[in-house]
Amino acid sequence: MKKPFDKELYRNLGINELILLGIYSIASNGEQCTFERLAKESFDLFPETFCLSQYPKWPDSRKLDRSLRTLRKRKLIIG
């Protein structure tokens, strides 16, 4: 598991930017970026943003859905 970033470093970044960083992290390791892998990577790197509100030790994949559609619409990602 990767060490999460300090929340102060990503506090001012939007969820779209954090997702792009997660995609970059996965791709830079030569891995395929699936939805499940991205949910894990996003939570590992940015747990405060990608956790379930009532269960902060668990990732919330729903937070990826709308943002991924927005990123696709802007042609920043494909898939």
DSSP letter string over 2-71? PPPPPHHHHTTS-HHHHHHHHHHHHHHTT----HHHHHHHHHHH-TTTSB-SS-TTSB-THHHHHHHHHH
pLDDT at 14: 94
pLDDT at 12: 86
User: The pTM is what?
Assistant: 0.88
The percentage of the chain sitting over the pLDDT mark of 70, rounded to a whole number, equals 99
pLDDT at 24: 95
pLDDT in tens, 30-58: 999 999 999 999 999 999 999 999 999 99
pLDDT at 61: 95
